[in-house]
Amino acid sequence: AQSVSQHNHHVILSEAASLELGCNYSYGGTVNLFWYVQYPGQHLQLLLKYFSGDPLVKGIKGFEAEFIKSKFSFNLRKPSVQWSDTAEYFCAVIFLSSNTGKLIFGQGTTLQVKP
């Protein structure tokens, strides 16, 4: 079955620390990859996306992610986190073989940044 796995469920960092959140997906051919963020009390917002081309993609608010096809991974990074980055982060994948546009989500990672 097509699946997405996020390794870290709860991450606590101090401000200015570097962040890397892991995301792996099951084999399923060509994929589109996404990272969404959900700030407390708010709805999902798109951080960044990968469809094709340069495997290093840059998103909003200083986030970036690298697609490593051989490892089926799409890890999210930020060099220096801020308190305002406290939120829940979701990795999501569209397996293009299904032709339905269905997003498969990871379980989510809660990031808490201490001031």
Partner 1 sequence: NAGVTQTPKFQVLKTGQSMTLQCAQDMNHNSMYWYRQDPGMGLRLIYYSASEGTTDKGEVPNGYNVSRLNKREFSLRLESAAPSQTSVYFCASRYIGSVNEQFFGPGTRLTVL
- Between 41 and 115, CB nearer to partner 1: 41
Contact positions with partner 1 (CB under 8 A) in 15-74: 32, 34, 36, 42-44, 46, 49, 51
- Between 5 and 17, CB nearer to partner 1: 5
Instruction: Give the binding range for partner 1 (CB under 8 A) out of 18-26, 60-68, 72-80, 89-97.
Output: 89-97
Rule CB under 8 A: say whether 105 interacts with partner 1. yes
- Between 72 and 105, CB nearer to partner 1: 105
| Secondary structure (H, E, C), the chain | CCCEEECCCEEEEECCCCEEECEEECCCCCEEEEEEEECCCCCCEEEEEECCCCCEEECHHHCEEEEEHHHCEEEEEECCCCHHHCEEEEEEEEEHHHCCCCEEECCCEEEEEEC
**Binding site residues, partner 1, CB under 8 A:** 4, 6, 9, 32, 34, 36, 42-44, 46, 49, 51, 90, 92, 94, 96, 100-108
